[in-house]
Chains A and B, each alone.
Chain A
Amino acid sequence: MKDHIRTLLEDLLPLVDFNSDFLFAELDSLGVTTILMVLSQEYGIELEAKDATPKNLRSLDSIVEMVNRKISEKK
Chain B
Amino acid sequence: MKKLEDYLCDYAHFSPQKIALKSAEGALTYHDLWTAVCERATELLLEQSSVYVTRAKQGFDFVIDYLAAHKAGKVIIPLEKDLPDERFQEIITLTAHANIPDVVSDILFTTGTTGKQKGTMITQTVIISDAENLIDAQGFTSDITFIITGPLNHIGSLSKIWPSIIVGATIYIMDGIKDLNAFFTTVKNAPNKVATFQVPASLRMILQLGEKQLKDCADKFDFIETGAAPISQADMEIMCKLLPNTRLYNTYASTETGIIATHNFNDGYCVAGCLGKPMKHSAIKIDDNGYIVCKGKTLMVGYCGDEDETNKVLHDNKLFTKDTGHLDEEGRLQLIGREGDIINVGGFKINPVEVEDIAKSMPEIADCICIPSPHPVLGTVLRLLYVVKEYHSVEKKAIAKYLASKLESYKVPQLYTQIEKVKRTYNGKLNRKAYLPE
Contacts and interface: CB of A to CB of B under 8 A. Distances in A.
Contacts of B412: 15
B179 A48 contact: no
B377 A36 contact: no
A52 B176 CA distance: 13
B180 A28 contact: no
B212 interface: yes
Contact of A30 (B378, B397, B401): B378
Contacts of A33: 178, 205, 208-209, 377
Contacts of A15: 397, 400-401, 404, 409, 412
B178 A27 contact: yes
A33 B177 CA distance: 10
B210 A10 contact: no
B92 to A, nearest CB: 26
A49 B180 CA distance: 6
Q: Is the interface of B mostly helix, strand, loop or mixed?
A: helix
Nearest to A57: B178
Contacts of A4: none
Contact of B178 (A13, A29, A47, A50): A29
Contact of B181 (A13, A28, A34, A53): A53
Contacts of A48: 209-212
A15 B399 CA distance: 9
B42 interface: no
A30 B204 CA distance: 10
Nearest to B176: A29
Q: Interface on chain A toward B: helix, strand, loop, or mixed SS?
A: helix
Interface in B163-193: 176-181, 184
A6 B412 CA distance: 21
Nearest to B201: A30
Contacts of A50: 181, 213
A33 B377 CA distance: 8
Contacts of B202: 29
A52 to B, nearest CB: 6
A11 B201 CA distance: 21
A36 B205 CA distance: 10
Nearest to A38: B376
A66 to B, nearest CB: 14
A36 B209 contact: yes
A54 interface: yes
B416 A52 contact: no
B49 interface: no
B276 interface: no
B396 interface: yes
A14 B400 contact: yes
Nearest to B204: A33
Contacts of A32: 178-179
Nearest to B213: A49
A33 B179 CA distance: 10
A40 to B, nearest CB: 9
B397 to A, nearest CB: 5
B414 interface: yes
B259 to A, nearest CB: 24
A33 B178 CA distance: 8
Nearest to A25: B178
A62 to B, nearest CB: 15
A73 B212 CA distance: 20
A29 B150 CA distance: 10
Interface in B324-361: 346
A37 interface: yes
Contacts of B396: 11, 14
Interface string B20-38: 0000000000000000000
Contacts of A14: 396-397, 399-400, 414, 416
A27 B176 CA distance: 10
Given A28-B178, A29-B176, A29-B177, A52 B400 contact: no
A52 B376 contact: no
A12 interface: yes
Given A14-B397, A30-B378, A52 B404 contact: no
B414 A12 contact: yes
Nearest to A14: B400
B205 A10 contact: no
Interface of B: 176-181, 184, 201-202, 205-206, 208-213, 346, 376-378, 396-397, 399-401, 404, 409, 412, 414-416
Given A12-B415, A14-B399, A52-B179, 14 more contacts: A12-B414, A14-B396, A14-B416, A15-B404, A15-B409, A27-B178, A29-B177, A30-B378, A33-B178, A34-B377, A37-B376, A48-B209, A50-B181, A52-B181
